[in-house]
Amino acid sequence: MEERRIIHIDMDYFFAQVEMRDNPKLKGKPVIVGGKASNRGVVSTASYEARKYGVHSAMPMSQAHKLCPNGYYVTSRFDAYREASKQIMDIFRSYTEIVEPMSLDEAYLDITHLVRPDLPASTIANFIRRDILEQTELTASAGVSYNKFLAKLASGMNKPNGITVIDYNNVHDILMNLDIGEFPGVGKASEKVMHNNNIFTGQDLYNKDEFELIRLFGKRGRGLYNKARGIDHNEVKATRIRKSVGTERTFATDVNDDDEILRKVWELSGKTAERLNKLQKSGKTVTVKIKTYQYETLSKQTSLRDPVNSETDIYNIAHTLYTELKDPDIPIRLIGVTVGNLEQSAYRNMTIYDFL
């Protein structure tokens, strides 16, 4: 198999860095970003100055206040983070089409097929970091390796504003000495199981045989066995940038009854909302499409100031559009509801690592 060249980029203290960029008074200060008090009240992220006090992501705000009473507490501004995110993703895509975003501030890039194979991957990673700094005034860290798992591990090793290369020369040392909790893919729960089984380092993991790891971790056992050996065959999955999410239904027989059609519109709005939420997206346009019993397709769209993603919001707009679109004398055979002009919804608080 051809050796791959993978880069993992992760922005440094992302939300906090954006806040410090936009408000110079915060530079060098312990900055803690979180949702409004009315929200769940947890820390989204903290600057490195604040981390020294023990403040970290997902910690209750009340606890952060206790640890760091003189911190600068800032309410998250998702629009600003989304904008920076879009800028960095565009930069990634200017280098390679194979970009897999993992969250607003993080992506894998496969640069195996870049036309300049003479350029070391680390040079390309530094070009990317330079572009990010020039265009967003933000720093990022990069990991460079021959698979995703190692690239991800590497990007965290020299944070902030650092780069790490893991290759065949250093992979053994790095993995064997790694604290088991630092392994990408080992969350808090797995770490506990590891400790209960006397696995504290990469070396300890390496010493376990595959069957034992499968017994302890089920399906994930095999992956862990491989990871201990620096093996990961997962490909960087280029995600199409999805422009819209829509659902449509054809009726069994042509219908002209508004109540019946609107019940369907409600159902389709719900389905669309469900799909949007799965993708963590909201959209700024809503479109209703109908196909008449004579197979003529008509549609009407509206643009919104604020993005929508809930069943009720989508339905209310779709209801209005339907009323404007539907000719009372013409039965229809199909109706569809689409939400477009999508953007990332607010961050769902979770540790991304548990999904890798």
Find which of Mg ion, ligand TTP, none residue 110 binds, CB within 5 to 8 Å per kind.
none
Print the binding letters for residues 182-211 with ligand TTP: x by CB under 6 A, - otherwise: ------------------------------
Q: For residues 9-28, which are near Mg ion according to CB under 5 A?
A: 10-11, 14
**Among 4, 6, 8, 13, contact with ligand TTP (rule: CB under 6 A):** 13
Q: Are 89 and 132 in contact (CB under 8 A)?
A: no
Q: 311 an active-site residue?
A: no
Integer angstrom CA distances of residue 24 from 14, 16, 48, 129, 329: 15, 12, 16, 22, 62
Contact range with ligand TTP by CB under 6 A, out of 10-18, 214-222, 301-309, 312-320: 10-18
Give which of ligand TTP, Mg ion, none residue 349 binds (C-beta under 5 to 8 Å, depending on kind): ligand TTP
Number of residues that bind ligand TTP (CB under 6 A): 18
Q: Is 351 in the site for ligand TTP (CB under 6 A)?
A: yes
Amino acid at 316: N
- Tell me the sheet residues that pair with 281: 344
User: How far, in Å, CA of 220 to CA of 201, rounded?
Assistant: 18
φ, ψ for residue 351 (rounded to 5)?
A: -95, 120
* Residue in 19, 49, 100, 106 annotated catalytic: 106
Q: Which stretch binds ligand TTP (CB under 6 A): 13-21, 83-91, 110-118, 202-210?
A: 13-21
Contact 335, 289 (CB under 8 A): yes
Single out the residue of 225, 219, 267, 222 nearest to residue 247, CA to CA.
267
Contacts to Mg ion from residues 96-155, by CB under 5 A: 105
Handedness of CA 251, 256, 260, 261 (dihedral sign): positive
Catalytic residues: 106
**Binding region for ligand TTP (CB under 6 A):** 10-15, 44-45, 57-58, 103, 105-106, 159-160, 347, 349, 351
